[in-house]
Amino acid sequence: MGGHGYSGWWGAMGGPKQRGIVTYQLSPYEMKANAHLISKGTHNFFRRTSAQLGYILPAVFLFWGVTHFGKKRHEFINSKAGHAAGHSH
């Protein structure tokens, strides 16, 4: 019912020797990823963000323009002048 007795601590269970296992370790410099977050992080944030503005702003303006046009068109179509002009829903 249960186990067959004590088989050893984790990693030393008496089985065949493990082969081909690779272990990794972080260097102390990588373990301090947030060491200079305030002093150098804000500069890097603005530098990287400004480098991406050329890609982001055209999409933002396009989205804003389409949304603005759609809202104005919707207001016109549902207004008295829009109905008089022959536009229907």
Q: What pLDDT digit, counting tens, does each position of 42-67 carry? A: 888 899 999 999 999 999 999 999 99
pLDDT given for residue 32 in this prediction:
74
Q: What is the pLDDT of residue 21?
A: 80
Output the pTM of the full model. 0.48
Assigned token pair, 55: 């890609």
- With CA atoms as reference, report the closest residue to 68 among 79, 78, 76: 76
Type and span of the H or E element at 50: helix 37-77
Q: Residue ranges per domain, the chain? A: 28-87
